[in-house]
A = this chain, B = another copy of it.
Amino acid sequence: GHYRLRLIGSKDLNAISTVKTAHTLFDSVCRSMASKTPVGFVGLGNMGNPMAKNLLKHGYPVVAYDVFPEACKEIQDSGAQITDSPADVAEKADRIITMLPSSANALEVYTGSNGILKKVKKGSLLIDSSTIDPAVSKEVAKAVEKQGAMFMDAPVSGGVGAARSGNLTFMVGGVEQEFNAAKELLTCMGANVVYCGEVGTGQAAKICNNMLLAIGMIGTAETMNLGIRLGLDPKLLAKILNMSSGRCWSSDTYNPVPGVMEGVPSANNYQGGFGTTLMAKDLGLAQDSATNTKTPTPLGSLSHQIYRVMCAKGYAQKDFSSVFQFLREDENL
């Protein structure tokens, strides 16, 4: 889809990403000097594939692996070297990026019987761009550190289009001194790279943002629907909200009501954008984190339930702003 969730605006970002790295570690100096040595890449799906290609475009040799041979074939045709396992990737590259669909996959790729940790070299930098449970990121980080290597979580914001055009946003958690080393690679694939804090905070920032996004979107959908039924013109209502304290990204940038804005999924039958299934997955991670930390999240929790129900009602592949359509249906018709 050509719509893109602009998670992070471009302005101001230099300020954030210019992290003061007073004492750069020896390891990262070495890696920096050897800048165009091979970069490993594990997970060549819809997102990983274009990301790896962008590394190739920037002149980095890529050593890649995926469980699906076809995915390997495609990136091989673009010039990457293919290996037999994550362990083999770790043997051939001391900087590795992973992009996997779930916490279980990430655990397997790092700590499994043919996982990266079987052959990882000391001082390696391992960057996981999967969106997974921050608790799993921390667990993997510990295992990585035991081997004398370094782990950072760097989940992305932005869909397949942003992956292709190199416009992803990375939210990075890990040791601050390693941030510049990670940034060198991540800027090949993304327009914005934000340092969030210790390991796990990249994931935390992403799931926090997406939880609030879901709440704002459902809230906007409810509110617009209520206002319309009370006789308000949708465009006027959006205008009033956007000048007022009800304003949010979902009301002023991504309004879910058809006819209010152009160039958003609601103007195109909710095609493209950020799918309901993906939102439900991220909200599931938010709930796991909330349960683990005993944090009450009543609206986040209910939003999760709503997107869960929508997935089973034919909205799974539609943009998540289709919650307006879901709530809109009139029992009187």
Contacts and interface: CB of A to CB of B under 8 A. Distances in A.
Interface of A: 5-9, 11-13, 16, 134, 157, 171, 194, 196-198, 200-201, 204-205, 208-213, 215-216, 218-220, 222-227, 229-233, 236-237, 239-241, 243-251, 253-254, 277, 280, 284, 286-291, 293-306, 308-309, 311-313, 316, 327, 329-332
14 contacts: A16-B239, A196-B236, A204-B227, A213-B246, A222-B298, A225-B296, A226-B297, A245-B254, A284-B291, A288-B288, A299-B299, A301-B301, A309-B327, A312-B331
A232 B314 CA distance: 27
Given A204-B226, A296-B305, 16 more contacts: A7-B245, A8-B244, A16-B239, A198-B231, A205-B227, A209-B241, A210-B246, A211-B226, A215-B219, A284-B291, A287-B287, A287-B291, A288-B291, A298-B306, A299-B303, A302-B302
A216 B213 contact: no
A227 B290 CA distance: 9
A280 B292 CA distance: 12
Contacts of A305: 296-298, 301
Nearest to A307: B296
A205 B220 CA distance: 13
B251 A231 contact: no
Contacts of A233: 197
Contacts of A287: 287, 291, 301
Nearest to A7: B244
A198 to B, nearest CB: 6
Nearest to A305: B298
Contact of A222 (B247, B299, B311, B330): B299
A299 to B, nearest CB: 5
Contacts of A244: 6-9, 157, 209, 213, 249
Contacts of A250: 245
Nearest to A308: B296
Nearest to A220: B212
A246 B245 contact: no
